[in-house]
Chain A
Amino acid sequence: MNTLYKIKAAFAVVAIGFVPVLFGEWKEGDVLPELSGFGLQGDLPELEGKVTYVDFWASWCAPCKAAFPEIERLYQKHGEKGFQVVAVSVDSSEKMMRRFLDRVKPSFATVWDEEQQLVETAEVGVMPTSFLVDGEGKIRSVHEGWGGKETAVELEAEILELLKEAGR
């Protein structure tokens, strides 16, 4: 094998290795991967046929925590119509995560991404980042950051639209 070819082949391997890094993040239109395959700790609800809000949060992230009361309100209001929430904690300390959850006591599903495998796959650019998934498992919108009431209003409109689409 000629030397130049070997060098080119080596560069090609490195370049191919970067492809998932460049295009790995979850975006609108993607199908949400099976969450059970990422070693999450906690009970995952049944996602099929439901409008699901997947929220990446951490106890050290103030905007993430600020979003919890609004998410709880939306869950209480639309939960029976087929809306559900999966709050994925990316904390490295279980103690810190529990301390917050024990204080807030959310009624929606919370899981712990201890190995940070899921968040690494999602490649979120900021904390918090959340994904609104339709009944068919497709990501319909991505929310980066939390802008308070404004984000909540926008999110509720999207949830209602997806619930309507799903005939609920």
Chain B
Amino acid sequence: MRFGKTLMVVGVGLAALLLSGCETVQPWEKGNLADYTMRDDRDELESVMTAHVTFSREASTGGEGVGGGGCGCN
């Protein structure tokens, strides 16, 4: 009985470790993160639609990006 419990605890612990889905990205694999397919704004139409829906829902507009011309004077 006691063995069964121990085995279950060990089993659950191992399952939690193995099935957690965590993955360490090694330094040499970081190119995958820089890939175009990893960008969440790669579909321009979808980005526009998402912004439209967000601004309509939140009754706001112009809430994304950075204002100004980049001169740092605004």
Contacts and interface: CB of A to CB of B under 8 A. Distances in A.
A60 B10 CA distance: 42
B28 A124 contact: yes
B33 to A, nearest CB: 9
B10 A91 contact: no
Residue with the greatest number of chain A CB neighbours at <10 A, chosen from B28, B31, B34? B28
A96 B32 CA distance: 12
A92 B27 contact: no
B72 to A, nearest CB: 25
Contact of B31 (A92, A124, A125, A129): A92
Given A3-B3, A7-B10, A126 B27 contact: yes
B27 A91 contact: no
Contacts of B34: 60
Nearest to A56: B28
A120 B27 CA distance: 10
A116 interface: yes
Interface in A65-118: 90-93, 96, 116
Contacts of B27: 124-127, 129
A142 interface: no
Interface in B10-32: 10, 26-32
A60 B29 contact: no
Nearest to A123: B26
B28 A60 contact: no
Given A7-B10, A60-B34, A90 B3 contact: no
A125 to B, nearest CB: 6
A127 B28 contact: yes
A58 B28 CA distance: 8
B61 interface: no
Interface of A: 3, 7, 56, 58-61, 90-93, 96, 116, 119-120, 124-127, 129
Given A93-B31, A120-B26, 12 more contacts: A3-B3, A7-B10, A60-B31, A61-B31, A90-B31, A92-B29, A92-B31, A96-B31, A119-B28, A126-B27, A127-B30, A129-B27
